[in-house]
Amino acid sequence: MKEISLILVSIATVLVPPIIMRYWGRKILREELPKKEKNYNLLKAEVICIFGAFILYFPAMIALGALDWASDVVDKLPLPEIFKVFAFAAILLFPLLLSIFLIIYETVKVGVNITEEKIENPKKEVLKALALILGPIIGFAFIWLLLMLYLPESLTSKWWFDLLVYSILILAFFALFPLILIRVGTRSELDPELKAELMRFCEEQGVKVRDIIVKGKPGQKLANAMVTGIIPRYRYVVLTRYLVDNFEEDEIKAVLAHEIGHIKGKHLWINAALSIGWFLFWIGLIYILHKFNVQLFSSPWIFFGVFFFAFYFWLFVIESRISIRNEFKADEFAANVVGLEPTLRALKKLAELNLLPEKTGKWFNLLNRHPSIEKRVEHLKRLANLEP
């Protein structure tokens, strides 16, 4: 009976949220609204459906004893301990991950009708995006578990040693992830003269980058930029093809100056420190609960309740707010170096090209880890003593 109930919950999780997303997306598509509003509403629907999949899946699986059931199944497998851990996670998470994939796929199918973006194989693109997100997480978890399982227990039982190993892995990830990123997806050439000018601009600002690369296929409509790599030798600035093709040179410089602002402000190192800080926060929370005689591992309801509260608190109350603050600081640097006017034009054009309203909700800003374009423009104008 338990197995049948688990299967029914898994099927419901895989089917219900994506079906809701499909019909909700079609409804948004039929609405007489500007494209920006349609696209924004579609993203909101996507977030709600993904959150709904979590709410539908996890409480039901905990109530049905899925953890014990999966553990019993895995224990019977003739596998090394580390692979048993991943088999356990795969059994539990596969229905939810499949649901999320289908929700994003339905979102992309509707989204291309709004943005008129050319995507030949939406399923493949969604899979590649998920692989880029999940691949490093799985790799990190594999190395972490390998060390925790096979190093002497006299070391792994000490919290400070676990923190040291975790910190080393986090710093290695932030240092080496650029080498993975630049090899994933379609890469195209930047105009040699423009590239030389942008590299010279980086040198003038006193920062070292290994290269400025352009990612994205023709027809993909995403205007974005990022800097990655805490070590200058492996630091890259990434611009999307859509941004390069639609921004003027001074606007591209403003975007580049924003990324340089992240480097000068040590924001990449701050992000790494925040990732390490999560470990300390979680260990500290376990210690406090123990002092109050709360047995964290006495029930899956207590463990997952505390874990998800702590995770979302850290992610959205701590990390996102610090990231938003850093975005304002990077904007300030860009305006000081390139000038206010091209920086404002670049910000407004980002909203225009990405079909997003300049004013976005707090939920969107926290998830995106960026303030709204409206707030960023107001902030820069206020600093320049201009009326917003």
Q: Please report, rounded to a whole number, the percentage of residues in the chain having pLDDT higher than 90.
A: 65
Secondary structure letter of residue 191 according to DSSP? P
Name the pTM for this structure.
0.91
pLDDT surpassing 90 at residue 199: yes
Report how far residue 296's alpha carbon sits from residue 306's, in angstroms, rounded to the nearest whole number.
Answer: 8
Report how far residue 334's alpha carbon sits from residue 301's, in angstroms, rounded to the nearest whole number.
Answer: 47
Q: Which residues pair with 188 in a beta bridge?
A: 214
CA 135 to chain centre: 13
Dihedral pair phi/psi, residue 354, rounded to 5°: -85, 5
pLDDT surpassing 50 at residue 170: yes
Mean pLDDT of 153-157: 89
Report how far residue 226's alpha carbon sits from residue 127's, in angstroms, rounded to the nearest whole number.
Answer: 22
pLDDT surpassing 60 at residue 326: yes
Report how far residue 60's alpha carbon sits from residue 53's, in angstroms, rounded to the nearest whole number.
Answer: 11
pLDDT of residue 388: 47
Taking only the tens place, the pLDDT of each residue in 60-77 is 999 998 888 888 889 888
